Chain A
Amino acid sequence: KNQVEQSPQSLIILEGKNCTLQCNYTVSPFSNLRWYKQDTGRGPVSLTIMTFSENTKSNGRYTATLDADTKQSSLHITASQLSDSASYICVVSDRGSTLGRLYFGRGTQLTVWP
């Protein structure tokens, strides 16, 4: 059973609009949560990383929030652009090993239309 669930599975919005992507996780213990952007045919690129003590982090038009009590995170995209069309992946790391095992969500496929 996947310990990181993302919603919605896919989303279509018009250019210039805002949107929010959700991530719920059951991973325990918890080390950090990352949001990655994966363009079609490319590898994921890190957008934000948040540890237990952080509840919000911004990277340009991307703002991630984290509620470690409810084990929920969101990624808010402001004033969307065509180049924002991609899959957004939520990744949670535990502290159980030297490797710091990563748990991947299946991603939200965002399409921005002109």
Chain B
Amino acid sequence: EADIYQTPRYLVIGTGKKITLECSQTMGHDKMYWYQQDPGMELHLIHYSYGVNSTEKGDLSSESTVSRIRTEHFPLTLESARPSHTSQYLCASSDRGVQDQETQYFGPGTRLLVL
């Protein structure tokens, strides 16, 4: 069982609100990731981090931002939520294993609904 946590699990919010999705892991992993997943669709990488003070944008353009001030914490923020942001957001982390054997451990996800 992976020690990676996401809060809240479910969030319903109005358009224009600022939200922060929390992600924490207790495995000491350097690499962390945020994915967006719509029903029946593949996961899309929106942000990732190699370690403290490192953040990069992923393959899918996103209006969200992330920060990595502590190894274990990788929050995602939406300054002004819109209905198009409705989706499931998955956080993951991985260790510095040999690249061919690196495995990502996923959190339970946050289901976001913007009205």
Which of A's residues lie within 8 Å of B, judged by CB? 2, 4, 9, 31-32, 34, 41-46, 49, 51, 89, 93, 95, 98-102, 104-107, 109
Contacts and interface: CB of A to CB of B under 8 A. Distances in A.
B106 interface: yes
A107 B39 CA distance: 10
A51 B100 contact: yes
Contacts, number: 58
Contact of B103 (A34, A42, A98): A34
Interface residues of B, number: 27
Majority SS at the chain A contact face = loop
Given A4-B42, A45-B106, A49-B103, 8 more contacts: A42-B109, A43-B91, A43-B109, A46-B103, A99-B31, A102-B45, A102-B104, A106-B41
Interface of B: 2, 4, 31, 40-45, 48, 50, 59, 90-92, 99-109, 111
